[in-house]
Structure 1
C-alpha cells in the first residue's frame, strides 16, 4: 500500500501493548498514523506531533496490539467444518487416506475447486479472508490459484496480507510451495533454502518413525544438513531435543499448531525442548478441518496445552508467537510484529483495558474485537469504530453485535469477481449442500488436468494439501527416495460418494457446532 498524494492522518487511543519487550505497555496512550505507518506513539497528556494538532483521535476504550500474524494455514479449506477425527494417527499419510477424511475434506474441496463454473472461487476467497479479519489476523498464508492448464500458479491478492506475496522490498515474500522432492534432489532443495528469506515447510508431521524419517532426509550422505536460517519447520511433532538442537545450530525456526496435533495424533510438538534449544516459535491455526477456526482460537489452545503439560510458556510468550515471533521468522520484524514509530500500522484493538494485557488478548473472543487495521486502513470493526476511523464496507453481525468489514484494495486481483460476504456465504452454502451433483464434474476435470486435455480458460484453486499439482504445502523430501502421500488421480478414481455438508461458521461465536465437536470426539482419547 503506497502513501497517498495527500497524507492521511488519524489517531486512536487505548491501552497500548507494544510487544517490544514484556511489560512494555502504555496504560493510556495514542497511536498517530500517517498513511500506512505509525508516525508516533505518545502517553496521554502529551502534545500531538506536528501535523496532528487538529486530528481528533478515535477513542477505542480497548487494548491495542500488533495485528496477528499466522504462518501456518491452508486458507482454501477454511470453508469446511471441523472433521470428526475417527482415531489417532501416527503420521499425516494415514489420515489423508482415511475414508471419512476423503468424504469430509478431500472430496468436498476437490468438488469446490475442480467443478467450479467461475462463481465459487471468488466466494471462497472472500469468505476465508473474512474468517481471518474478524479474528484479528492481518497476515496469513495466501490462496494459490492455477490456470486450467496447470502450467501457471500465483497468489490471490486481497485486503489481508499474504506471507507468500509480502510487499518487497519492505516485506520479502516467503516461500512454501515446491514440487515433490526426492532424496536425490537434496542439493536443489538446499539451494532453494539458501535463496529464500523464509521457507515455510511441513516437517515431520506425525509422531512415528516414518514421520521422523522426513527430518533425517534433510541430511545428505556427506553429513550436511539442508537446514538454513530461512527454514521454518511447520509441526515438527516427531522431533526430539537432539533434532531441535540440530535445527538451532542452523538457526532454523518452528511453527506450532497444538490443537491440530492433538486432534490428529494425541500429542503435540515438544516446544519446551525447541525453546530450550533457542528456537523461535510461532503459532498457526492449521485449517478448519482439524485446527482452530482462527489464530485467536489457537492462542487459547496454546495456553491450555502449556498449562496441561507444564511447558512453562507465559501469556506474553504465547502472544509473542502470534506477533513479534512470526514477524522475525518472515524477516518482517523491522516493519511489523511490534508497535513502534515507522512500522506499518497493522493493529488489533480488543475491548477492555483491565487485567493482565497478554491474558486479556488470549481470553478475548471474536465479539470482543473493536477494530482491525492493515497498513493504516480500517478493515474491520464495530460499526462505531469503523465510522470514527473513516472506514466503510459491508455490514455483518458477530454474535448480536453490528460489525463492518472492508475488502476493497487497489492491489486486489482484477481477475477475481468482487462480491459481498453475504453473497459468498450464499454461494458456498449452496455448493456444499450440492456436493453429490458437483462430484462427477470435479472427477472429470481432475482426469482432464492429469491428461493435459483441459480446454477451459480462467483460474481455479490449487489445493495446497493435495499432491501432484506443484503447489502443495506438504512436500516430501522422501527418505531413501520413496515418495509418500496420496496420488491425486488415484484419489479421484476411488472417490467415495459425497453428501451435503454445512459451510463452516465464520466465527466460534456464531457456530455452537464447533465447540460441540471439540467436546465430543468420535473416539475416546487416552
Structure 2
C-alpha cells in the first residue's frame, strides 16, 4: 500500500485511540427501540472535535435550507454549519472551484482564487457534510424486496444462502435491470451519498468505485469487493483447517488497491475459522492497510488485534447482521482496541435502503444496546471519512478539505445540530447533493435559481417538499426520473416519509435466547444483569465463544472491557 494510504490509516487510528474510554458498563438506556432518531442537539460527553463559531451571517428566509445569495459564473461557495475533518465550523464556508475541486474550507473563503466569480449559497443553520460514501452494497440485487422481520436467525451466511444446518434458504435473485440499478443509485443519492462500492452500477449518479469505468471521473485503482475470498461459494463451512475452494484469494493479488472481503459472517465456529484462514499464516494473510473486512460478525479480540496491527479496518452492516443473525460485529470491542469502522448498507434484501437508514440503525443499536459507546461524530465518520478510506478514496473523498473532490451533501439543520443533523435526517431534510460540484439532487428552488441547467432536472415531491433529481441530465438522456422510478418501485419505493415498509429489523433477537430488553436484562442479551459480565452492553453468548466472552479472563466482558486483551482497565 502506498504511503498516503498508510498515513491515512495512521491518522484514523490515532483519532480513534484519542477519543475512546470504552463503552459504559453500568447505565441502562430508557430510549425507545425506534431507529428513526435520537438526541436532537447534543452529543453528550462525546468528543465532537473542534467547534468554531465563525462570524455571523444573515440566515436565509427558509431556515434549514439554502438560498442563492449571489449568482456566479464559476464555482460554488456554500455557507452554513460545515462538518470538516477537525470538527465543526458554524457559519463556515466551503468553496468548490470551477473544476469541481474544493479550494477552501474556512470561516471566510472570499480571498481564495476564483471565489469572486462563484455563486454563493447561504444555507444558514443547514449542515454541510462531505457526500456520504457507502463501502458495501450488492446493487445488482436491487430488484429484491426486503425481508422485514425475517423468518429465521442463522449461524452462518451459508445457512441462508444454501439452506444448511436445518435452515430454509432465502430466495433472492441478482440481475437487476439498468434502470433498477439507477433507481437504487438515486435512492442512495437522495440520502446524501455520492460514492459507493456496490459490486456493480451504471454510468451516472453514484461513483461506483469497485466497478471499472464507473468512478465518474476519479482516477483511482478500482476497489476489489470480494464476496468469497476463500473460494467457498459452494457453501463450505469448516471449523478447522483452510481447505475450502481451490482458488482462494492470494495476498499478492490484493496489492495496489482497496480490498473489501467478506470474512466471518456468522456467529458459529465456522465463521470464526474464516479469519484464521484469511488473517494469519495458517492460510492467506489478507490483512493490510488496504483491507476493510466486510461484516466481521464472528471476530474475537485476538483477530481484532491482528487487524489493528496490520492497519486494516471493518465495514459494519448492522441492520443486515441483526436481521440475519440476531447479532452484529463486536463494534464496542473494536472501538476499545482502536479499529476504524466504516458503515455500509449490504443490500436491500436484509440491509438498509440507503445510508440514512443504516446510520439510524447504528445509532439505535448504540443508544439502546451498546451503552452509548459512539458519539455523533464517530457515527458520521463511519459514513464519510472511514468509508472513503475503506474504498481506497481516503485522499480525495470523505473529508471537506482543500484539494479534495467537491462531493458535498447539505442537510437541514433547524431541528438537529452538527453531525446529528446527518444522522437523524429524514428524506425531505436533504437540501442538496453535489458530485464534483455539480448538483444531482436538491430543493427545487435552489437548483432552478442557483445552477445553470438546474431547471432541466426533473421534479418530484418528497414528503411535501418540492425537489429535483438530475437523472436525465446526468445520464445524458439514457434514462429519466420516470424511467428509473417505475423500474425500482416495482420492488421497493425510492423513499418513505415514515419508517420504511417491511424494513429489516434493527432489534436483536433470537428465538428462545433473547428478545427486547425485559426487566433484569437491560441490555437485552439474554443474560440476567447479575450474571452479565457487561450488564449495560449487549453481548450474548455466541456459539463460537462457548460461554461469556472474556478473552483476558479478568471478569470484565470483552464488549465493555477497555483493554480486552489485558487484565484490568489499563492498557
TM-score grouping bracket, smaller chain normalisation: 0.7 to 0.9
Say which SS state the counterpart of residue 177 (structure 2) adopts: helix
Residue 86 of structure 1, aligned match among 136, 148, 151:
151
Q: 1:176 to 1:127 in 2, by over 3 A?
A: same
Matches of 1:512 and 1:268 in 2, distance apart? 21
Q: 1:220 to 1:278 in 2, by over 3 A?
A: closer
Contact 1:60 1:370 in 2 (8 A): no
Matches of 1:420 and 1:521 in 2, distance apart? 42
Q: Tell me the CA shift for residue 510 of structure 1.
A: 6.6
Q: Where in structure 2 are the equivalents of 1:68-83 lying within 5 Å?
A: 68-83=132-147
Deviates more, 1:352-361 or 1:270-279: 352-361
Q: Tell me the CA shift for residue 77 of structure 1.
A: 2.0
Match of 1:215 in 2: 275
Matches of 1:173 and 1:192 in 2, distance apart? 13
Residue 199 (1) aligns with residue 259 (2): yes
Higher helix proportion (structure 1 or 2): 1
Residue 126 (1) aligns with residue 175 (2): no
The gaps in structure 1 that reach 5 residues or longer are: 1-6, 114-119, 145-154, 430-501
Q: Aligned-pair RMSD on alpha carbons?
A: 3.3
Residue 59 (1) aligns with residue 122 (2): yes
Q: 1:169 to 1:394 in 2, by over 3 A?
A: closer
Matches of 2:304 and 2:507 in 1, distance apart? 33
Q: Where in structure 2 are the equivalents of 1:325-474 lying within 5 Å?
A: 325-352=386-413, 355-387=416-448, 388-390=450-452, 391=454, 392-407=456-471, 418-427=478-487
Q: Where in structure 2 are the equivalents of 1:162-201 lying within 5 Å?
A: 162-165=208-211, 166=215, 170-177=219-226, 181=231, 183=242, 189-193=250-254, 195-201=255-261
Residue 10 (1) aligns with residue 70 (2): no
Q: 1:57 to 1:261 in 2, by over 3 A?
A: same
Q: 1:95 to 1:36 in 2, by over 3 A?
A: same
Residue 269 of structure 1, aligned match among 315, 325, 329:
329
Q: 1:348 to 1:135 in 2, by over 3 A?
A: same
The gaps in structure 2 that reach 5 residues or longer are: 1-72, 233-241, 516-571
Contact 1:122 1:418 in 2 (8 A): no
Q: Tell me the CA shift for residue 273 of structure 1.
A: 1.7
Contact 1:86 1:522 in 2 (8 A): no
Contact 1:138 1:374 in 2 (8 A): yes
Match of 1:486 in 2: none
Residue 285 (1) aligns with residue 285 (2): no
Residues 349-390 of structure 1, C-alpha deviations (whole Å, 9 max, x = no match):
001256530112111111100000001111101101212133
Matches of 2:218 and 2:93 in 1, distance apart? 31
Q: Tell me the CA shift for residue 220 of structure 1.
A: 6.6
Matches of 1:221 and 1:520 in 2, distance apart? 34
Q: Which has the higher contact order (CA 8 A, sep 6+)?
A: 1
Contact 1:186 1:220 in 2 (8 A): no
Match of 2:530 in 1: none
Matches of 2:388 and 2:325 in 1, distance apart? 28
Q: Tell me the CA shift for residue 87 of structure 1.
A: 1.7
Contact 2:405 2:436 in 1 (8 A): yes
Matches of 1:202 and 1:216 in 2, distance apart? 13
Deviates more, 1:171-180 or 1:515-524: 515-524
Q: Aligned residue pairs: how many?
A: 421
Matches of 1:247 and 1:520 in 2, distance apart? 26
Match of 1:303 in 2: 363
Q: 1:43 to 1:427 in 2, by over 3 A?
A: closer
Deviates more, 1:384-393 or 1:373-382: 384-393
Matches of 2:94 and 2:382 in 1, distance apart? 25
Match of 1:473 in 2: none
Q: 1:49 to 1:306 in 2, by over 3 A?
A: same
Say which SS state the counterpart of residue 126 (structure 1) adopts: helix
Taking structure 1 as the reference length, the TM-score comes to 0.72
Q: Tell me the CA shift for residue 425 of structure 1.
A: 3.3
Match of 1:509 in 2: 497
Say which SS state the counterpart of residue 371 (structure 1) adopts: strand
Contact 1:10 1:389 in 2 (8 A): no
